[in-house]
Chains A and B, each alone.
Chain A
């Protein structure tokens, strides 16, 4: 199989699997007072320190969660509630139009249920936010600003430091979903100026179901869940020591190897893009050509439906993604592609290929050899649809 969907999830690193297994064999709740508990606590705190060191935060700023979605929900809802509690007029949430659904739907939930008002920052045709639009949108009524570090569909890297600086100047907390960015591009929490940053394990070679919100010490959040008061009273629930240990190993390793990884994978990605262009000359390469994740290639195939192409490539052992949200498996046109100013058809005709630490030239070759026949068939199927 040619696995070209690393942005969905990437294989766990061997050292993360070993760290997980070693910790899972031990007993101990990190909140327990006895020796076994202290040992588990030590694993968690060492992991917290490793993650903090890798991502430029203080250990006390690392709040472990059950993954990226939970961290995004905690940041968006928790900061909104806390800010509004301080001052009832703060009801506005500013977010980029291309956020992951974990942020997008959290904001929309606040609008529907909490009286929030959303301001969506537009993006240019490459998917990038113009900081000037944020400067214009900032006002006294803003509870928080959220903009992702890098987009999960088209891979565009946002001017996060500029956005964070504008928010900081307006004394508004800035959250960034860095789930796709960590390990791919340099990510430094302190240097970024962000008040909160989301990271997750399974995109960097750690396990699914563990992530963290890096939360500035001076940023107040209202908890989503209540219970034992773990994690600064912000995120109750027994700490997942094996998951956290493996997560820390993966974050540390991916950050440590980021430069050489990016060089190797971006060369492979460039070969993929050149190969796709070679066999499908009218393909459209989406996203920013420069400010882009090294592992991401995203195309529109005119005349094809993305899900038809996906089916045909899947049958040839090539795994990729339409990059769009699915409910009951029905593809909706991507809100990211639409926000970039594309018509419905182009949004539906797109496919995402994402490389990772296990990718090789053979994966790229498999795609390039399967693609021409798949595109030809998908075009035939697409013509039926448009001719009726």
Chain B
């Protein structure tokens, strides 16, 4: 229970459904701030109190579990290391994989609980298939797609059939004071939202070249290649105009030479995406190509594709090229379905 409205209503629904529910708030910061500031919706002492009050109102026991050390090792340090390696990580996905549905789940199972319930917006029905939320704008199946069959079998997402607006209404009806608490966004452990500054504090500034992919010419400089993401256009501060006068985008980041390579938008287009460490939860492992859609970043538009699993990798051949495919993000395969698109599998983009 983060202290937000979603986990509060999820807990209330689980309790109302007859489960023996215990509320757990994760202390993820080694030095929590006293009060919320900006767009963060978790991790302060105020959020911890909000979660406790929600548990009181629901009538369930409540505890704070200290996961700060594991969170720092598995999520924050990983986040920094991924950027340092020129990739663009998704820390929410990593937190689900390593903390909420691993460290927390394992501890809960050992203590005698059957499952972890969260307020994620995704559907997980009796068929064991993970599907998009009915609220497509709030759908979080992308950051859950990394979960394995074993993890999903011990998870409950009671909010998947409910829109965010309905969740808020229900929270108000249940007397939960977090009903109109603002949504959280941004990365929870970067309080001011300044990701580049956060990385610069940890990785140091290291000036390098911005190179044009077509001409090989140095067209600008940067303070550290880790500050860039494939597909990025803004904030490049390139002094020399492109020969064709069109805007340039980040095509790749090469940490070894500390080089950011830029080029025209067409050069961003990829038609094959391959991912490592694949997970497949949408039924039996396929022995051949699978017609599906793939999503290549959080809130990205799904692209029709053919996916194959081969040699420990997931390879997606896109029906139409996609742009801004950043290594470190997840490629998630969905099968379109009237009852909510089904997550087939996922992998980390190389």
Contacts and interface: CB of A to CB of B under 8 A. Distances in A.
Interface stretch (B60-68, B295-303, B335-343): B60-68
A330 to B, nearest CB: 5
Nearest to A379: B110
A28 B27 CA distance: 47
Contacts of A328: 27, 32, 45, 48, 64
Contact of B112 (A307, A329, A331, A377): A377
Contacts of A315: 22, 61
B107 interface: yes
A165 interface: no
Contacts of B65: 307
Contacts of B32: 328
Contacts, number: 45
B111 A329 contact: no
A308 interface: yes
Q: Name B's interface SS.
A: mixed
B61 A329 contact: no
Interface in B3-50: 22, 25, 27, 32, 45, 48
Q: Which of A311, A329, A378 has the most CB of B within 10 A?
A: A329
Interface string B242-277: 000000000000000000000000000000000000
Given A312-B112, A315-B22, A329-B25, A384 B64 contact: no
A329 B110 contact: no
A189 to B, nearest CB: 39
B22 A311 contact: yes
A383 B110 CA distance: 9
Nearest to B73: A388
A101 interface: no
A49 B107 CA distance: 54
Interface in A343-388: 377-378, 380-381, 383-385
B64 A329 contact: yes
Interface residues of B, number: 18
A233 interface: no
Contacts of B209: none
A134 to B, nearest CB: 35
A314 interface: yes
B110 A384 contact: yes
A15 B111 CA distance: 42
B214 to A, nearest CB: 48
Contacts of B205: none
A307 B64 CA distance: 9
A312 B45 CA distance: 24
A385 B69 CA distance: 12
B170 interface: no
A378 B108 CA distance: 10
Interface in B104-118: 106-107, 110-112
Interface in A300-336: 307-308, 311-312, 314-315, 327-331
Nearest to A380: B110
Contacts of B64: 328-330
A304 to B, nearest CB: 11
Contacts of B48: 328-329
Contacts of A330: 27, 64, 66, 68
A30 B52 CA distance: 39
A314 B107 contact: no
A350 to B, nearest CB: 16
A328 B107 CA distance: 20
A327 B32 CA distance: 10
Contacts of A385: 107
A381 B110 contact: yes
A327 B45 CA distance: 9
A380 B27 CA distance: 22
A330 B64 CA distance: 6
A314 to B, nearest CB: 6
24 contacts: A307-B63, A307-B65, A311-B61, A311-B63, A312-B112, A315-B61, A328-B45, A328-B48, A329-B25, A329-B27, A329-B48, A329-B63, A330-B27, A330-B64, A377-B110, A377-B111, A377-B112, A378-B111, A381-B106, A381-B107, A381-B110, A381-B111, A384-B106, A384-B110
Interface of B: 22, 25, 27, 32, 45, 48, 52, 61, 63-66, 68, 106-107, 110-112
Interface of A: 307-308, 311-312, 314-315, 327-331, 377-378, 380-381, 383-385
Given A312-B112, A329-B27, A329-B52, 4 more contacts: A311-B61, A329-B25, A380-B110, A381-B111
